[in-house]
Structure 1
Amino acid sequence: MNIFDLLPAQDAPQAAICSRKGCREVATMQLLWNNPKIHTADRRKIWLACQDHVAWLEDYLQSRSLWKETLPMSPKDSA
């Protein structure tokens, strides 16, 4: 028996999930951000957001001067 046989099958790609703590909804938007104290100016980190949390996450990042832009997820991003 192989320990990996106990893991669920990964045949189908899983949907991208919202980054808001405790949320398990499918993400529809991506928020690009960086922390200028530790990242180079061209570096972009990405948080994913469902429709219910995009404004909250954007406000969180903007209030800390970390937000760069918000973009819709493309079909290739959601897999």
Structure 2
Amino acid sequence: MMVCSARACRQQAAYGVVWNNPKLHTPDRRKVWLACEDHRDSLSGFVSLRGFLIEVVPVDQLDERDG
């Protein structure tokens, strides 16, 4: 089971929040935080405010380049 990345959350993840910090990562690097339905907005909002958000996708659409 894939578990949500939010602190202290143990719910099953439904989404992948895909992001990249250009100061730390190469342009092709895709970091992923897993998110349950309850934490999708807060996790994606956190990286979006910093300009790091690439996309939010269902976990079944994540592939080997995401990690």
Shorter-chain TM band: 0.7 to 0.9
**Root mean square deviation of aligned Cα:** 1.8
Aligned length: 63
Q: Which of 54, 71, 75 is matched with 2:40 structurally?
A: 54
Q: 1:75 and 1:46 mapped to 2: Cα distance?
A: 12
TM-score relative to the length of structure 2: 0.87
2:2 matched residue in structure 1 = 16
Higher Rg: 1
**Structure of greater relative contact order (alpha carbons < 8 Å, 6+ residues apart):** 2
2:50 matched residue in structure 1 = 64
Q: Where do 4+ consecutive residues of structure 1 move more than 6 Å?
A: none
In the alignment, structure 2 segments of 5+ residues that lack a partner are: none
Q: 1:60 and 1:51 mapped to 2: Cα distance?
A: 15
In the alignment, structure 1 segments of 5+ residues that lack a partner are: 1-14
